[in-house]
Amino acid sequence: MDVFDISEIFLYNDFNIFFVLLGLFVTAATSFAAYDYLKENKFWYYILNIFYILGFFMVITTQSWFVFIIGWEIVTVTTTFMIIWSDKKIARQYFLVQFTGSSILLYVILLAFSMGYKTIGVIDETWLQSLFIIGVGMKSGIFGLHFWLPPIHSKAPAPVSAVLSGWVVKLGFITLLKIIAGPNQFLVILGFLMIFLGGIKALLQTDLKVLLAYSTISQLGFIAVGIGSGSTYGIVGAIFHIVAHSLAKTNLFINSGFLEKEYKSRTIYDMNKIWKRKPVSALTVIISLLSLMGTFFLTGYHSKHFIKYAFKGIDYLKILLHGASILTILYSLRLAWWLWLKNIFGKNKKEGEIKKRNFSPGEYGYSAILFLSFALLFTGIVPNYIYSRFFVEDISFHFLDGFINYIVYFIIAISILWRLDWIKTKEKAAPELDDIFKKVNNFLYKISGKFLEYDTGVFFESYLYNSIYNISRGIYNFIYTDFQIQLLWIPTLLMLLYMWITFII
């Protein structure tokens, strides 16, 4: 009817083109890395990649809500199929979660559409902005709807994890950048919750990919805080952090795949002195971790600094941000120690020296991770390259201020970790999406005083589907009783309608 009323569907301004190019760069890196990582059916993987690129191109550059949601559904479907390379069960759970997010987003978009917002632009009402935050929440890992992120991102194959965690979760925040113009308290609160939840959980993990997934949640919290602050510094910081985190996390996930294949396990305690067996991976891992920590010649520094500067006047938020930075440095340093520095001065000097390598990433893999690290260094040393695409006025980068802050954090973090013996926790199984539902269900039953034992049915394979099946069968048995009682609905309803029109009207 009136979906194509606007004159242009696609808008090619600097903002959109920049993000499309960034997405292309990151996706190209993962495709290169996947060349030697995946073994079979590589042709279909690259076809899916092409459709995925088409999908996020539509999401970023369009002005019409209709094309926007079509693009996002294409991204959902293609990434679902990309996960099948490792496990079909995870693909099914991922699709269900993403589709829930899409449905909520579709509802909110049509709500905005029927209120008069026919194109993607700034939305004035705060409650509508908050609904949009919930709408993109399930797809971008906002707090409260983030529960699916660690199980799914850790079990997907490594290039796909890089795509998911490096770019797909950012699409929601890019949209929020277009929608939110002023300060939004809801987003700031959610952002801080995400930072601390992700960071604390990341400190306790032993599985490399689960740790990186929790780190994703934490860093997305920074972006959320930046957008929600409403000031120019906050938005600049959010944009820089999108760039920094995409490049760094893609790099880390690709390397996690390489390391997993080399050491044949995902626990970080098994990977010692990676600079001996995989020197290129080790170098790029360190560069990415340093960027995450906010080291001053990498992009992560600029983003963290700007976000801190955005809250210049408000003291308690600044303290929270200092704490957040220390938390990030804590878990990054812990990871770096376990991968790099453990036993470097100790007794087992010979540990980690093996003659034969188990897995070689191939030249495409090497080029992927090296290009990503180079991009991190480039945007860190020349931040004006990005900044001049968005804003025309000058801004100062406050190098000295940040440098002092960074050294203080670093010293605090090293002292804490040294005291706690670099937090060697016990290994436990990777999180499953099913366990969460089992806990929720048991909690609900404990409240009602009973504890139900469901027998694992023949047809469903997990707890969530079993409980859905049993609930719906309960409703079905309640309504379907006997043939004549089913027939009896007809005269009942007829008599009710007749009596209503006789006596009430």
Partner 1 sequence: MDINILLLVIIPLFTAFMIPLIDLIHKSIRKYFVFVSINVEAFIAIRIILNNFDKIKNSELFLDYHLGGWITPYGINLIMDPVALFFSTLITFSLYFIIVYSIGFIGHHEGKYYVLLFLIFAAMQGTILTGDLFNMYVFIELIAVTSSPLVAFKRDQNSTEAAIKYLIYSIIGGLFFFIGVIFIYFSVGTLNMAEAAANFGSIGFRMQLFIITTFLVSFLIKLGIFPFHFWLPKAHSACPSSISALLSGVLLKVYLYTFIRILWTVLDYNIIIDIGLDVFIIYISLFSSLLGHIFALQADDIKRMLAFSTIGHIGMITAAIALNTKAGFYGAMLHIIAHLLMKSGLFLGVGYLINYVSGHKIEDFTGIAYRHKGIFISIIVLSFGMIGIPPIIGFMSKWYILLGFLESQSYLGAALVIVGSLTAVIYYMRYIARAVQKVKVEPDLKNRGIFNKPIISTFYRERIVTAIIYLFTFLVVVTGVGFKMFDIPINSMIPELIDSQEYINHILGL
Partner 2 sequence: MINNLVFAILVFVSSYAIYIKRNLIKIVIGLSILEAAVFYWVISTNDKGGGLPFYQVTERGLDMIDAIPQALTLTGIVIGASTTALLLTFIIELDKFTGTHNLDNLKGLDD
Phi/psi region, residue 422 (left: phi>0; alpha: psi -120 to 50; beta: rest), is left
- Could you tell me which stretch among 1-9, 221-229, 234-242, 264-272 binds partner 1 (CB under 8 A)? 1-9
Residue 110 as a binder of partner 2 (CB under 8 A): the answer is no
* Whether the Cβ atoms of residue 62 and residue 9 lie closer than 8 Å to each other: yes
192, 309, 384, 386, 402 from 396: Cα distances, Å: 26, 11, 10, 14, 12
Residue 483 as a binder of partner 1 (CB under 8 A): the answer is yes
Amino acid residing at 103: S
> Shortest gap between Cβ of 469 and partner 1 (angstroms)?
6
If contact means CB under 5 to 8 A according to the sort of partner, which of partner 1, partner 2, none does residue 479 touch?
partner 1
If contact means CB under 5 to 8 A according to the sort of partner, which of partner 2, partner 1, none does residue 482 touch?
partner 2
**Helix boundaries (H) for 156-278:** 158-163, 169-179, 185-203, 208-229, 232-263, 274-277
Residue 497 as a binder of partner 1 (CB under 8 A): the answer is yes
Q: Which of 29, 99, 32, 107 is nearest to 65 (CA)?
A: 107
Amino acid residing at 270: D
CB neighbour list of residue 48: distance below 8 Å, 6 or more residues apart: 78, 81, 82
- Could you tell me which stretch among 234-242, 321-329, 432-440, 487-495 binds partner 2 (CB under 8 A)? 487-495
Q: Which of 13, 396, 484, 502 binds partner 2 (CB under 8 A)?
A: 484
Pull the structure tokens for residue 37: 């990582």
> Shortest gap between Cβ of 487 and partner 2 (angstroms)?
6
- Could you tell me which stretch among 56-64, 209-217, 408-416, 477-485 binds partner 2 (CB under 8 A)? 477-485
20, 376, 380, 390 from 386: Cα distances, Å: 14, 12, 10, 7
Q: Which of 333, 307, 97 is nearest to 211 (CA)?
A: 333
> Shortest gap between Cβ of 307 and partner 1 (angstroms)?
35
If contact means CB under 5 to 8 A according to the sort of partner, which of partner 1, partner 2, none does residue 505 touch?
partner 1
If contact means CB under 5 to 8 A according to the sort of partner, which of partner 1, partner 2, none does residue 107 touch?
partner 1
First-residue to last-residue Cα distance in the chain: 38
Q: Which of 247, 271, 250 is nearest to 359 (CA)?
A: 271
Residue 267 pairs with which residues in a beta bridge?
207
If the CB atoms of residues 425 and 481 are measured against partner 2, the closer one turns out to be: 481
- Could you tell me which stretch among 20-28, 256-264, 348-356, 494-502 binds partner 1 (CB under 8 A)? 494-502
Contact code string over 177-206 relative to partner 2, x by CB under 8 A: ------------------------------
Q: Which of 7, 13, 114, 448 binds partner 1 (CB under 8 A)?
A: 114
Residue 490 as a binder of partner 1 (CB under 8 A): the answer is yes
Query: In the range 415-474, which residues lie near partner 1 by CB under 8 A?
Result: 458-460, 465, 468-469, 472-473
Pull the structure tokens for residue 367: 């080029």
Whole-number Å distance between alpha carbons of 147 and 170: 17
Amino acid residing at 405: N
> Shortest gap between Cβ of 457 and partner 1 (angstroms)?
10
> Shortest gap between Cβ of 485 and partner 2 (angstroms)?
8
> Shortest gap between Cβ of 476 and partner 2 (angstroms)?
10
* Whether the Cβ atoms of residue 162 and residue 212 lie closer than 8 Å to each other: no
**Helix boundaries (H) for 294-361:** 299-310, 315-336
Whole-number Å distance between alpha carbons of 223 and 228: 8
Q: Which of 429, 475, 479, 487 binds partner 2 (CB under 8 A)?
A: 487
Q: Which of 421, 453, 455, 482 binds partner 2 (CB under 8 A)?
A: 482
If the CB atoms of residues 100 and 267 are measured against partner 1, the closer one turns out to be: 100
Q: Provide the binding-site residues for partner 2, judged by CB under 8 A.
A: 480-484, 486-488, 491
